[in-house]
Amino acid sequence: MLFAAQRVHVAARPRFKMAAPMATARVDVSGIKDPKLDMCVRRALSVAPLALQIVAECPITKARACSLALPHCVVNTPVFMPVGTQGTLKGITVDQLEDLGCQICLGNTYHLGMRPGPELIEEANGLHGFMNWKRNLLTDSGGFQMVSLVELSEVTEEGVKFCSPYDGRETLLTPEQSIAIQNSLGSDIMMQLDDVVSSTVTGPRVEEAMKRSVRWLDRCIAANKNPERQNLFAIIQGGLNAELRKACLDEMIKRDVPGFAIGGLSGGEEKDDFWRMVTLSTDHLPREKPRYLMGVGYAVDLVVCVALGCDMFDCVFPTRTARFGSALVPWGSLQLKQKQFAKDFQPIDPDCQCATCRRHSRAYLHALFKCDTAAMHHITIHNISYQLTLMRAVRQSIIDKCFPEYVKSFMRRMFPSPEQYPKWAVDALASVNIKLD
């Protein structure tokens, strides 16, 4: 299972009003706005396909706001990246994603590599051309899908062997093939193929997987045909073992890749182990490179992990939960299929500026859910808007030097009382000098 059950707090209306600029955060759709930044970015891009400019650092925590220049536009971080699968995000169009101000989204290498296949996508000028998406794309290595979707996968030094769920044939995905597919897709950020073990596995397999991931990183670097246009990110492994994580960090940092992902977490481990591994990683990762925490998308996790120094996040949670009728709000979530919303004429969130909240009531969405898949679509738009708006507000608070206050008001609004704050979040925030009251 990818995600542990999330604690949600269902309420008919907000309990607290926030002082932080959550609802008023401006949508920056253009990517590049500041002409000075534009110049600096273009200069950097002339030699490398990625440049990270640190805009502000929180003086209290490890949080930072950056401008990450990628080939298709500048990404303002911290950023949440919605996840697409087969060249599309379930329940949302590319136009709508653009309107929400999304500057980068994920494409799924495994599915795209199988169907329609890299040749066809290359013919369409890569995944950008195929989807007609003008902003940035990040593709995964395809390895994780294999481990999570295919029961019969076997890892050897050569690569990951698995039976294709499409035609049942035995297939081998090597680091070289993963990069070849991602080169055909033309993504702005490519992920290395790593040897993924569940975060709950312990023993020698964790060390083996970590060392193999380092060897595979070298093979991925060597296989990248487009280092001037496509950024390859390393994935830090090492399970929940601090020594292994540190050894992996040391090795991968030596490779001087354009960016680093913290991998192998969010797989059902204790949250206390999770945050300690995250903070260990950000303590050692180079300041001038982007840090991507994979598979994290719950609002509380995002805010805490920004405090621990992460810049980028992705997760299928907001789009997947939308399809079950769950709308994300600053005080938890609303299960719109529940009867209590049948006569509720408020929008999902009165402070939300998204197309769904501007036009539709909870009652309408509740009724629509019974007869039309359009309901899922409307909630998907709202949930992606919620994630992107949350990250913009977090970023603005870092720039305005009030991030710790923002975190406190965020927690006060998310939980009915301080007694309900998750202990791991309280401890993690205390480790970066935010004492929740």
For Zn ion, the closer of residues 137 and 354 by Cβ is 354
Binding mask 298-337 for Zn ion (x = CB under 5 A): ----------------------------------------
Is residue 171 within 8 A of residue 158, CB to CB? The reply is no
Write down the least CB distance from residue 356 to Zn ion, Å: 5
Residue 144 annotated as binding?
A: yes
Left, alpha or beta for 115 (phi > 0: left; psi -120 to 50: alpha)? Answer: beta
Only one of the segments 20-28, 109-117, 263-271, 357-365 lies at the binding site for Zn ion (rule: CB under 5 A); that segment is: 357-365
Is 143 annotated in some ligand binding site? Answer: yes
Tell me whether residue 245 or residue 360 sits nearer to Zn ion (CB atom): 360
At what angle are helices 299-307 and 271-284 packed, to 10 degrees?
Answer: 40
Q: Is 105 annotated as a binding residue?
A: no
| Stretch binding Zn ion (CB under 5 A), from 281-289, 317-325, 346-354, 392-400 | 346-354
> Per-residue DSSP letters for 123-138?
HTTHHHHHHT--SEEE
The region of 113-121, 130-138, 344-352, 429-437 touching Zn ion under the rule CB under 5 A is 344-352
For Zn ion, give the closer residue by CB, 61 or 383: 383
- Least distance from C-beta 368 to Zn ion, angstroms? 15
- Judged by CB, which is closer to Zn ion: 279, or 356? 356
| 8 Å CB contact between 336 and 379 | yes
Stretch that binds Zn ion, among 71-79, 217-225, 274-282, 356-364 (CB under 5 A): 356-364
Between 64 and 378, whose beta carbon lies closer to Zn ion? 378
Residue 238 is assigned to a ligand binding site: no
If 0-12 CB within 10 Å is exposed, 13-18 middle and 19+ buried, where does residue 219 land?
middle
Applying CB under 5 A, which of residues 64, 271, 276, 382 lies at the interface with Zn ion?
382
220 annotated ligand-binding residue:
no
Q: How many CB atoms lie within 10 A of CB 331?
A: 22
Query: What 8-state DSSP symbol labels residue 341?
Result: G
From the CB of 252, what's the least distance to Zn ion, in Å? 39
d(CA 299, CA 306): 11
Candidates 77-85, 283-291, 379-387, 422-430: pick the segment binding Zn ion (CB under 5 A). Answer: 379-387
Buried b (16+ CB within 10 A) or exposed e, 174-206: bbbbbbbbbbbbbbbbbbbbbbbbebeeeeeeb
Q: Mention every residue, 6+ apart, whose C-beta is less than 8 A from residue 144.
A: 110, 196
Classify 304 as helix, strand or coil: helix
274 carries a ligand binding annotation: no
- Minimum distance from residue 178 beta carbon to Zn ion (Å): 37
- We find the least distance from the C-beta atom of residue 227 to Zn ion, in angstroms, to be 40
Residue type, 199: S
Tell me the three state secondary structure of residue 284. Answer: helix
Least spacing, CB of residue 375 vs Zn ion, in Å? 14
| Residue range at the interface with Zn ion (CB under 5 A); choices 131-139, 280-288, 310-318, 381-389 | 381-389
Report the nearest approach of Zn ion to the CB of residue 348 (Å): 5
3-state secondary structure of 330: coil
The amino acid present at 56, given as its one-letter code, is A
DSSP-derived letter for residue 92 is B
Q: Which of 74, 285, 357, 391 binds Zn ion (CB under 5 A)?
A: 357
- E-assigned strands of 114-258? 136-139, 154-155, 160-163, 170-173, 189-191, 231-236
Number of chain positions touching Zn ion (CB under 5 A): 5
**Which one, 59 or 350, has the nearer CB to Zn ion?**
350
Q: Report helix, strand or coil for 1.
A: coil
State residue 149 phi and psi, 5-degree precision.
-95, -30
Helix, coil or strand: residue 54: strand
354 is in an annotated binding site: yes
Catalytic sites, residue numbers: 140, 314
Judged by CB under 5 A, the chain residues 181 through 200 that form the site for Zn ion are none
**Residue 354 interacts with Zn ion (CB under 5 A): yes or no:** yes
The residue among 174 and 321 lying less far from Zn ion, judged by its C-beta, is 321
Nearest distance from C-beta of residue 76 to Zn ion, angstroms: 20
- Among residues 432, 296, 420, 346, the alpha carbon closest in space to that of 8 is found at 420
Our CB check for Zn ion shows the closer of 189 and 352 to be: 352
Is 141 among the annotated ligand-binding positions?
yes
Query: Should residue 377 be labelled a site residue for Zn ion when binding is judged by CB under 5 A?
Result: no
Binding site, annotated residues for substrate = 140-144, 194, 237, 264
Could you list the residues known to form a binding site, using ranges.
140-144, 194, 237, 264, 352, 354, 357, 382
Footprint of Zn ion (CB under 5 A): 352, 354, 356-357, 382
